[in-house]
Amino acid sequence: MSEIQIRQGGPGDHDTLLQMFDDAVAWLSTRGSAAQWGTVPWSKLSSRIHQVRLMVENPGIRVAEIDGEPAGVLVVDEETFGHVPQVDERELYLRLLITSRKFAGRGVGARLISYALEEASRRGISLVRVDCWAGGDGDLVRYYESQGFKSTVQFDVLGWVGQVLEQRVG
């Protein structure tokens, strides 16, 4: 099995990331989880295209590759989203974690999470948080828990229920 390499991402990864979202939307729709990201491909929605543009412009974007092919994307930042309860300490926030459907089941997400925890340690940050969709069958929350995160609070943004999870480094 090929090793997962992680590189700095950037604006040149826009189309790749947009395709990952399109593939994820199609896959989520087939498994009854369309409420997570909708049913329309992100490449067809100007608001989503803009959202992806902001992601690839974030200096915290990292791209996982297997044999030189993009396999997943991570965006980390020391700023969180407005809908997420703030904490009274410095944190590294996983603003995005997505795996290419082509590489599902190959440990890409776990490797990117490991990278984020290492990055937090390098920065002297002891708290790593993430939020995810809490709907459907709860698989996404269980995935993050299986990666060492602990569920904290839930939030609701216009009927989209999310779960905040955290993990301590060191």
d(CA 153, CA 119): 24
State the architecture of 4-168 in CATH terms. Answer: 3-Layer(aba) Sandwich (3.40)
Rounded CA-CA distance 144/150 in Å is 8
Model pLDDT, residue 33:
85
Query: In what order do the strands lie in the sheet containing 127-133?
Result: 4-8, 61-66, 69-77, 92-99, 127-133, 160-168, 150-157
Q: What's the confidence (pLDDT) of residue 137?
A: 85
pLDDT of residue 1: 64
Distance from CA of residue 143 to its chain's centroid? Answer: 12
Instruction: For residue range 13-32, list pLDDT tens digits in order.
Output: 999 999 999 999 999 988 88
pLDDT band at 136 (very low <50, low <70, confident <90, very high): confident
pTM: 0.95
Domain residue spans of the chain: 4-168
Q: 62-66, 90-94, 138-142: which range is least confident on average?
A: 138-142
